Amino acid sequence: MVLIGMPDAATKAGVSRSSIKRALENAGVNLHKINERAWAVEETDLQAYLERRGGSLERGRPAGSPNRLRKGHAPSHLRDAFCEWCDLTEESSVVEVGGEDKPIRWLLGRLWNCTDVLAAVYCQNLEIPVGSTYAVAVRDVMSKLGEEAE
């Protein structure tokens, strides 16, 4: 049996516990509830799921898993794309990242926990305190986008 839900088990598997739980439930695999945040599953069932995604228990993160920023420094191409989007004279729902058009909400999600400090000129343009992080900026932008949708 493999425990799903404890930090070391999720890290070892390379995917979130909710992702594993949902996929296994959808595949009809029996999960054994340990408590509100943990389940147990047969190791062979977990291994089969990971192999379908291109990973294994030994290798860790399956191929193609999203590389979402948990907290800290975000890649410069994402920060640059945000600044370029901020420079647009008209608000756009699309931003160019690495030569590809992506929805602005996709980019905001990638920068959601970024602790890098945003340049003062962008802070002033967004009317947030100078010295704010990208996380503060994207949360502000997201709240404004949410208000427009209502």
For residue 22, the number of C-alpha atoms closer than 13 Å in the C-beta half-sphere is: 5
Cα→Cα distances 42→31, 71, 133, Å: 8, 32, 43
Answer yes or no: do 30 and 87 share one domain: no
For residue 21, the number of C-alpha atoms closer than 13 Å in the C-beta half-sphere is: 17
For residue 119, the number of C-alpha atoms closer than 13 Å in the C-beta half-sphere is: 10
**Best CA proximity match to 111, nearest among 77, 145, 87:** 77
* Amino acid 93: pLDDT: 86
Tally of structural domains, the chain: 2
Query: In three state form, how does the secondary structure of the chain look?
Result: CEEECCHHHHHHHCCCHHHHHHHHHHCCCCCEEEECCEEEECHHHHHHHHHHCCCECCCECCCCCCCCCCCECCCHHHHHHHHHHHHCCCCCCEEEECCEEEEHHHHHHHHCCECCECCHHHHHHHCCCCCCEHHHHHHHHHHHHHHHHC
- Structural domain contains residue 65: no
* Amino acid 83: pLDDT: 92
* Amino acid 81: pLDDT: 92
* Amino acid 90: pLDDT: 76
Q: Which among 15, 36, 52 is the end of a domain?
A: 52
CA dihedral 51, 23, 102, 118 (to 10 degrees): -100
Answer yes or no: do 140 and 85 share one domain: yes
Which amino acid is located at 29 in the chain? V
How do residues 51-82 score in pLDDT, each as one tens digit?
665 555 554 444 444 445 556 788 888 999 99
* Amino acid 51: pLDDT: 66
| Res 45 pLDDT > 90 | no
How do residues 124-138 score in pLDDT, each as one tens digit?
999 999 999 999 999
Answer yes or no: do 122 and 83 share one domain: yes
Q: Which among 52, 68, 94 is the end of a domain?
A: 52
